[in-house]
């Protein structure tokens, strides 16, 4: 049985710190979140890093595809200045150092496996390897999710002991066929595309998370409708709801 928190900080606390950075996870903790969500992918040389996009352009001082950059290059980039001058010098974190910080802060995680195209299998395998090596054995394990069903199959087969959440974008009804097949304990729906019958998801014994909700009233409505967890850029806003 998976116990989801009422709020999960999206990319940390993406509304008030540069997303997917250690600083963003610290901010989420400060704002009261007990869990954070972040996106994990591979550098060219196979290091698991935390970044959303397939290219470096939007959130770092680098250019071009992540899949063509080695960790030694990525580690030198600025991942904070795009968000504001006060964040200059913030770095792209690796998954292992992220896990170490979460352990210090007492945070749990929804690790979204976000492979660059064509790297679905190796990304999932690499995430699992890092989690196995670094996630503290005495803590509740992280929840793995992915839009990439191929990555979810790898997670199911390589690490059946790690809980999985089915992440869905615009075809909410696929929870009916995919959640069971992939052995998921929760389904993560987009707030813009919810299933016709949320109660049926609950009745199937699945937890429900909805992303990305930053509006307090919408969060309240969803929680009242039976949603377990709101994934939000602004965890303090949801907690206030
Ligand atoms: O995991 C929920 C959410 O993060 C999925 O969408 O694009 O923000 O990674 P995205
Ligand atoms: Mg994500």
Of the candidates 69, 12, 41, the residue with the CA atom closest to the CA atom of residue 234: 12
How many residues are present in the chain? 241
| CA 235 to ligand 1 centroid distance, Å | 15
Answer yes or no: is the C-beta of 37 below 6 A from any ligand 1 atom: yes
Q: What is the mean pLDDT of the chain?
A: 98
| CA 203 to ligand 1 centroid distance, Å | 25
Contact 151, 121 (CB under 8 A): yes
Q: Which helix (H) or strand (E) holds 24?
A: helix 22-30
Give the tens place of pLDDT for each residue, 121-151.
Answer: 999 999 999 999 999 999 999 999 999 999 9
Please give the tally of structural domains in the chain. 1
The boundaries of the domain holding residue 83 are 7-240
Give the tens place of pLDDT for each residue, 76-128.
Answer: 999 999 999 999 999 999 999 999 999 999 999 999 999 999 999 999 999 99
Of the candidates 56, 62, 49, the residue with the CA atom closest to the CA atom of residue 93: 49
Catalytic positions: 10, 52
d(CA 66, CA 48): 11
Question: Does 197 fall in a domain?
Answer: yes
pLDDT value of position 1: 76
Question: Does 1 fall in a domain?
Answer: no
| CA 195 to ligand 1 centroid distance, Å | 17
C-alpha distance from residue 30 to each of 13, 15, 46 (Å): 10, 13, 32
Question: Does 2 fall in a domain?
Answer: no
Question: Does 113 fall in a domain?
Answer: yes
Which protein residue has the closest C-alpha to ligand 1 atom 1?
112
Contact 91, 72 (CB under 8 A): no
The label of the residue with tokens 């429900």 reads 208
Relative to the alpha carbon of 54, which ligand is closest?
1
Answer yes or no: is the C-beta of 52 below 6 A from any ligand 1 atom: yes
What is the value of pTM for the model shown?
0.98
Question: Does 199 fall in a domain?
Answer: yes
Neighbour tally for 170: CB within 10 Å: 9
CATH label of the domain that carries residue 110: 3.20.20.190
């Amino acid at each position: 049985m998976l116990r989801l928190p009422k709020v999960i900080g999206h990319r940390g606390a993406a509304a008030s710190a540069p997303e997917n950075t250690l600083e963003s996870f610290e901010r989420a903790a400060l704002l009261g979140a007990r869990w954070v969500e972040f996106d994990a992918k591979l550098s060219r040389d196979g290091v698991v890093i935390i970044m959303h996009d397939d290219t470096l352009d939007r959130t770092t001082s680098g250019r071009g595809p992540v899949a063509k950059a080695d960790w030694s290059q990525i580690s030198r980039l600025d991942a904070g200045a795009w968000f504001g001058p006060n964040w200059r010098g913030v770095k792209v974190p690796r998954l292992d150092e992220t896990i170490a910080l979460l352990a210090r802060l007492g945070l749990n995680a929804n690790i979204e496996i976000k492979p660059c195209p064509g790297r679905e299998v190796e990304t999932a395998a690499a995430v699992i390897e890092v989690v196995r090596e670094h996630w503290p054995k005495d803590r509740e394990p992280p929840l793995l999710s992915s839009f990439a069903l191929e990555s979810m199959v790898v997670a199911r087969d390589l690490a059946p002991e790690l809980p999985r959440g089915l992440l869905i974008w615009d075809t909410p009804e696929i929870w009916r066929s995919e959640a069971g097949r992939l052995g998921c304990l929760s389904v993560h729906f987009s707030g813009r595309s919810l299933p016709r019958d949320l109660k049926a998801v609950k009745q199937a014994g699945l937890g429900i998370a909805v992303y990305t909700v930053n509006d307090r009233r919408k969060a309240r409505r969803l929680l009242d409708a039976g949603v377990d967890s709101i994934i939000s850029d602004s965890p303090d806003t949801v907690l206030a709801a």
